[in-house]
């Protein structure tokens, strides 16, 4: 009986010592939180649309959604994002309408901005982002060349 018990223990211990298969190690962890993508999506309305570049805003949001789809998010996270994005578009649309109403058009400088919208749009940093967005819209680059942060980043910036 002692031999059977010892043999069983060796078998159990041996099973745990077997190295994992290479394809198991290659599988990325499933991600649940799209919070960084949500923040970037919401902020894009102020970074682009509020300064008069709504086309760039729409392209950036399209790149964000495409990048999210490239990431190993759970099915639930992938399914929840479109509904959240639709609600955010509505909310941001109302906020833009309010800005226009209050300022008689889009403001020259948004609260919290260190430069005017014109300065932002003319900056080399913005032109570089805009160039990547144009290339993405033309199909020259993929979403991961626009949204370069990793899928599990805590912050995503253009």
**Average pLDDT, integer, range 39-63:** 94
Please state, rounded to an integer, the average pLDDT across all residues of the chain: 83
pLDDT tier, 50 (very low <50, low <70, confident <90, very high otherwise): confident
**What pLDDT, on a 0 to 100 scale, did the predictor assign at position 25?**
55
pLDDT of residue 14: 39
pLDDT tens-digit series, residues 75-115: 999 999 999 999 999 999 898 888 788 877 766 766 777 88
Percent pLDDT > 90 in the chain is 60
> What span, in angstroms and rounded, lies between the C-alpha atoms of 40 and 30?
21
């Amino acid at each position: 009986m002692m031999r059977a018990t010892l043999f069983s223990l060796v078998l159990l211990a041996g099973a745990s010592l077997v190295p994992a298969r290479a394809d198991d190690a290659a599988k990325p962890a499933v991600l649940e939180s799209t919070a960084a993508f949500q923040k970037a999506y919401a902020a894009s309305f102020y970074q682009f649309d509020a300064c008069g570049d709504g086309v760039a805003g729409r392209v950036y949001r399209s790149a964000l959604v495409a990048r999210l789809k490239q990431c190993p998010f759970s099915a639930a996270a992938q399914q929840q994002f479109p509904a959240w994005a639709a609600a955010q578009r509505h909310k941001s649309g109302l906020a833009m309408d309010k800005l226009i109403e209050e300022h008689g058009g889009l403001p020259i400088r948004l609260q919290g901005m260190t430069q005017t919208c014109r300065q932002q749009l003319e900056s080399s940093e913005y032109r570089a982002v805009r160039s990547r967005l144009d290339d993405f819209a033309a199909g020259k680059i993929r979403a991961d060349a626009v949204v370069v942060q990793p899928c599990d980043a805590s912050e995503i910036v253009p």
